[in-house]
Amino acid sequence: MKALVYEGKETLEWRDVPMPVAAAGEHLIRLRAVGICGSDMHAYLGHDARRPAPLILGHEAAGIIEDGPQAGRRVTLNPLVTCGTCTACLSGRENLCPERQIISMPPREGAFAQFVAMPERNLVTVPKDVPLAKAALAEPLAVSWHAARLGLEALHPSMDRRALVIGGGAIGLAAALALRAMGVEEVTIQEPNALRRAFLAERCGQRVSEAAQMHWPLVIDAVGYAATRATASAAADPGGVVVHVGLGDDTGGLDIRRMTLQEITFIGTYTYTAQDFRDTAQAIFENRLGALDWIDQRPLSAGADAFRDLRLGRVAAPKIVLDPWS
Amino acid sequence: MKALVYEGKETLEWRDVPMPVAAAGEHLIRLRAVGICGSDMHAYLGHDARRPAPLILGHEAAGIIEDGPQAGRRVTLNPLVTCGTCTACLSGRENLCPERQIISMPPREGAFAQFVAMPERNLVTVPKDVPLAKAALAEPLAVSWHAARLGLEALHPSMDRRALVIGGGAIGLAAALALRAMGVEEVTIQEPNALRRAFLAERCGQRVSEAAQMHWPLVIDAVGYAATRATASAAADPGGVVVHVGLGDDTGGLDIRRMTLQEITFIGTYTYTAQDFRDTAQAIFENRLGALDWIDQRPLSAGADAFRDLRLGRVAAPKIVLDPWS
Q: What is the pLDDT along chain A (326 residues), one digit of tens a residue?
A: 999 999 999 999 999 999 999 999 999 999 999 999 999 999 999 999 999 999 999 999 999 999 999 999 999 999 999 999 999 999 999 999 999 999 999 999 999 999 999 999 999 999 999 999 999 999 999 999 999 999 999 999 999 999 999 999 999 999 999 999 999 999 999 999 998 899 999 999 999 999 878 999 999 999 999 999 999 999 999 999 999 998 888 999 999 999 999 999 999 999 999 999 999 999 999 999 999 999 999 999 999 999 999 999 888 889 999 999 99
Asked if the C-beta of A99 comes within 8 angstroms of chain B's C-beta atoms, the answer is no
The torsion angle over the Cα atoms of residues A221, A222, A226 and A231, rounded to 10 degrees, is: -40
Give the Cα separation of A185 and A165 in Å (integer): 13
* CB atoms B270 and A247 under 8 Å: no
CB pairs under 8 A between A and B: 132
Give the Cα separation of B294 and A72 in Å (integer): 73
Closest CA to B114 of B305, B304, B301: B301
Radius of gyration of chain B (CA): 19
Can you spell out the DSSP letters for A86-109?
SHHHHTT-GGG-TT-EETTBTTB-
Q: For the purposes of burial, counting CB atoms within 10 Å of the CB of B56, is it exposed (0-12), middle (13-18) or buried (19 or more)?
A: buried
B205 dihedral zone (left: phi>0; alpha: psi -120 to 50; beta): left
Give the Cα separation of A277 and A76 in Å (integer): 10
What percent of chain B is modeled with pLDDT above 70? Answer: 100
CA distance A99 to chain B (A): 12
Which of A83, A263, A264 is the best substitution to test chain B (most B C-beta atoms within 10 A)? Answer: A263
Give the Cα separation of B173 and B222 in Å (integer): 9
Give the Cα separation of A189 and B243 in Å (integer): 29
CB nearest B87 (choices: A95, A158, A265):
A158
Is the confidence at residue B137, as pLDDT, over 80? yes
Cα dihedral A115, A120, A123, A125 sign: positive
The predicted pLDDT at position B316 comes to 82
Asked if the C-beta of A91 comes within 8 angstroms of chain B's C-beta atoms, the answer is yes
Closest CA to B188 of B225, B235, B147: B235
For residue A260, the chain B residue with the least C-alpha distance is B268
- What residues in A contact B224, CB-CB < 8 Å? 256, 260
Q: How far is CA B238 from CA A276, B147, B166, B263, in A?
A: 18, 20, 18, 6
**Cβ atoms of A265 and B266 closer than 8 Å:** yes
* CB atoms B256 and A268 under 8 Å: yes
Asked if the C-beta of A98 comes within 8 angstroms of chain B's C-beta atoms, the answer is yes
Give the Cα separation of B32 and A59 in Å (integer): 67
Asked if the C-beta of A144 comes within 8 angstroms of chain B's C-beta atoms, the answer is no
CA distance B258 to chain A (A): 8
CA distance B38 to chain A (A): 15
What percent of chain B is modeled with pLDDT above 90? Answer: 95
Amino acid sitting at position B99: E
Give the Cα separation of A31 and A114 in Å (integer): 5
Is the confidence at residue B247, as pLDDT, over 90? no
The predicted pLDDT at position B276 comes to 98
Indicate the pLDDT class of residue B314, thresholds 50, 70 and 90.
confident
The predicted pLDDT at position B290 comes to 94
* CB atoms A251 and B257 under 8 Å: yes
**Cβ atoms of A216 and A162 closer than 8 Å:** yes
Q: What is the 8-class DSSP label of residue B199?
A: H
Long-range contacts of A210-213 (CB under 8 A, 24+ apart): A213/A164, A213/A188
CA A42 from chain centre, in angstroms, equals: 14
CATH class of the structural domain A141-268: alpha beta
| Chain segment B162-213, per-residue pLDDT in tens | 999 999 999 999 999 999 999 999 999 999 999 889 999 999 999 999 987 8
| Chain segment B2-12, per-residue pLDDT in tens | 999 999 999 99
Closest CA to A20 of A63, A50, A52, A49: A63
The predicted pLDDT at position B238 comes to 98
For residue A155, the chain B residue with the least C-alpha distance is B154
Amino acid sitting at position B248: G
The predicted pLDDT at position A148 comes to 98
* Mean pLDDT for chain B overall: 96
Q: How far is CA B217 from CA A92, A96, B114, B150, B264, in A?
A: 17, 13, 44, 14, 9
Element (H, E) at A284: helix A274-285
CA distance A152 to chain B (A): 13
Biggest alpha carbon distance in chain A? 60
| Chain segment B149-159, per-residue pLDDT in tens | 999 999 999 99
- In sequence order, what are the beta bridge partners of A14? A4
| 3-state SS, residue A41 | helix
The predicted pLDDT at position B94 comes to 98
Element (H, E) at B45: none
Long-range contacts of B36-42 (CB under 8 A, 24+ apart): B36/B60, B36/B303, B36/B306, B36/B307, B36/B310, B36/B319, B36/B320, B36/B321, B36/B322, B37/B139, B37/B140, B37/B170, B38/B169, B38/B170, B38/B171, B38/B246, B39/B247, B40/B104, B40/B112, B40/B307, B41/B307, B41/B310, B41/B311, B42/B247
Enter the ipTM: 0.94
Is the confidence at residue B313, as pLDDT, over 90? no
* CB atoms B259 and A265 under 8 Å: no
**Cβ atoms of B57 and B110 closer than 8 Å:** yes
pTM: 0.95
- Quick one: A2-137+292-323 is in which CATH superfamily? Medium-chain alcohol dehydrogenases, catalytic domain (3.90.180.10)
| Chain segment B264-292, per-residue pLDDT in tens | 999 999 999 999 999 999 999 999 999 99
Give the Cα separation of A146 and A80 in Å (integer): 14
Peptide bond into A107 cis (omega under 30): yes
For residue B160, the chain A residue with the least C-alpha distance is A87
The predicted pLDDT at position B100 comes to 96
Peptide bond into A54 cis (omega under 30): yes
The predicted pLDDT at position A248 comes to 86
CA distance A252 to chain B (A): 5
Alpha helices in chain B (DSSP H): 38-44, 87-90, 132-135, 138-154, 170-181, 194-202, 226-235, 256-261, 274-285, 303-311
Which of A89, A256, A265, A267 is the best substitution to test chain B (most B C-beta atoms within 10 A)? Answer: A256
CA distance B218 to chain A (A): 14
Every domain of chain B and the residues it spans: 2-137+292-323, 141-268
